Structures are given as structure tokens and as C-alpha cells.
Amino acid sequence: MQENIFLLVIRRQLVLKKIITILLASLVAGLLVSLYFFYLENTFNDVGSVVFTNTYKQDWDTYEGGSFSFEYPTYFKRSGVQLVGSGSYEELVNDDRSQALTVEIRANYNNASGKVFSSLEEFVGNFQKEKQTKIFIDGYEAIRILPYGGEGTDSSALYVIGPGGGPIITLDFSNNYDIDMAEARNGNRIFNQIVSTLRFNNFSMAGWRTYKSRLGFEFQMPDDFASNEGGNLEIYSPTTKCETSYTEGEKEDISEAKISFTVHEGDDINLAWLKAFGYQLEGNFDGEAFFDGHETYYFYQGAEMVYGRTAYLVDLGEGKFLEINKYSPNLVFNCDQSIDNLSAIDAQILSTLRID
């Protein structure tokens, strides 16, 4: 009898300890969750945080060039259009003339051959060949000349042929070396921002359509792309069956190109980045870009993944941020249909992004 009472006491003590342990664990878990959200809200108040001021559309104006337009800061003053031969040019300069943007429009006609230029490469030729890179402007292929040194200036340029084979549009930007390098870098950044706003008026690419998202933006995409919009938006090209490193001989549906869009809210881009991707922005991004004039940071991810990924976070203004994930097949093989790398299609689609 005494032994049974002793066992009962021991059992009750164990149950009590278990209850106390569960209560303590719950309290600790609750405390950790509270600390985590406190961390989210306060981590990026430090001096070392990434901070920028996005003034797009606050002090910007629209340059109308007939078949095209772009946005530019109002501190650039227009000098007036000058007619030259089969085209025209105009210079936009800031107050101290340390920065200049020249807009040139010319007919797509090669005087040497008596024909239109067969390609943009033929027109640009070997000019700053090592600095040339191909991009898309509103869905059309363009050549971007990255910054290069000249006689007392740091220059860069953009060349693009408009819809229907013309005209040829050139934007040329120059920084005067008399200003410090920080100002020069800021000038090149402004030029990148201007370039991202270049649009062709009333254009329509054959086989493409406009998609207007309820999330507050629109873009062009090929007719055969599908879309799925719920809390976020995903678009993707037709799929084919492929093996991957994870399917062990079985095949799964693979899209040659896939892009997702999600809108986040937050006080600043540092906090929005942490919420979107789970780690700090400072020191953890691969580059800066612009979509339709809006500040963007991005990173690449691709090791040991079925899809390679480029992730962007776009500052939409007013405390809203657009997360864009661009996916292209990486570790796939034995596909029913040939898989091409359609990252160019991805870039072409995103070049048409227009944000309300």
C-alpha cells in the first residue's frame, strides 16, 4: 500500500514537471517569436543599412520624340531640336553643364549601301566594341555602350531601332571630369534610370499581347504564355516533359521561361527585402537596376537547382515593393522537346514592364 502511494506521488510529480516544462517551452517560443518580429522592424535602423532616395516622378518630365518618349529629371534643360540631314538632335544639359544628354533621331538608311541597315550591329559597328552589351528597350533589341573615358568626360550611350525598322534612336550621355567621381557615378546611374523609361508609342509586337495585372502594372508577353493570378501573379511558357536531378528517371513539366510577381508592403526597401528573401539587403545583392524608372536591387541563384533564378525587388513608391522572380531551366535533361535558354525572352518581357 505504501509502495503504491509512493508511486502515485512520483507519477504526479512527473506530470507536474511535464506541465511546467511545456509551459516554459511555450513562453520561450513566444518570446523568441516576439524578438524575431522586433528584429524585423528594427534591424535596418542602423547606420550601415542600404539607403537611397527614389525621386522618380517627383521632379521628372516627359520627352516626346514622336514615335517614342522617355522620362528625365527636370534639372536637365532642353536646348531645342536641331535638324540635320535625314534626322535631328537635341541636347539636354544641367545647370552647370557638367552633365549632358544628347537625343539623336535619324532615318534607318545606310548611305554607303543605299539600303536600310541590316542590323543594329551594322549601324554601331566597332565603336567601343569592348563596352557594347545587348539589352531590350520596350521589347526591342538595343545596344548599350557602358561608361567609357574620353577627353575630359565619362560617356555612355544607347542605340535602338524603333518599330517597323526605324528610325534609329541614339541617347548619348556624358559626365564632365571636373566633378568628383561620386557625382559622375550618380550621373551614370541617372542615365540608366532614364534609359529604363524609354517607350515606343502605339507599338504592338507580332505574336505578343498586353497583360494588365490587378497588382498595379502591365507588360507585354508572347501569346502562347499562360498566366495564373491569385495573391500573386505567375506567367510561364508552354511546358515539356523533362528529367531532373530530383526525379530519378521520371519526367516532370518544365517551362522554358517562368516569371512570378508579388507585391510587398514595408517602410523601406531594407525591411521589404528581408521579408521577401529572408536575409539582409546590405552586402547580399548582385546589382542595381531600374524597371520603368523605379529603383531595383537583384541577386542570382542557381547552384544545384532545377531552375536558375534571378530575383528582383522593385521600389514602387508609397511603401510598396514588387518582388519579381525570373526562372529558367538549369538541371534538366532528356526532355521530350528541346529546351532552349529563354532568358532573352524573360528580359524582353520585363523590358516592357509599365508601373502605374
pLDDT in tens, 232-273: 999 999 989 998 877 777 898 988 899 999 999 988 889 999
pTM of the model: 0.80
H helices present in the chain, as ranges: 2-42, 120-124, 181-195, 269-277, 343-350
Q: Judge whether 99 and 187 are in contact, CB under 8 Å.
A: yes
60-200 in CATH: which number?
3.40.1000.10
> What is the model's pLDDT at position 169?
96
Please tell me the predicted confidence (pLDDT) of residue 282.
Answer: 83
pLDDT of amino acid 342? 57
Per-residue pLDDT at 13 = 54
3-state secondary structure of 353: coil
- pLDDT, residue 164, reads 84
Amino acid at 15: V
Q: Which residues of 27-57 are buried (b: 16+ CB within 10 A; e: fewer)?
A: eeeeeeeeeeeeeeeeebeeeeebeeeeebe
| Residue ranges of the chain with per-residue pLDDT less than 70 | 1-57, 150-152, 177-182, 184, 303, 340-343
Query: Contact 323/310 with Cβ under 8 angstroms?
Result: no
**Terminal-residue alpha carbon distance, the chain:** 82
What does the pLDDT read at residue 55? 52
Residues 6+ apart with CB under 8 A from 186: none
Superfamily of domain 208-355 in the CATH hierarchy: Mog1/PsbP, alpha/beta/alpha sandwich (3.40.1000.10)
> Can you give the pLDDT at residue 338?
81
Which segments of the chain belong to CATH 3.40.1000.10? Answer: 60-200, 208-355
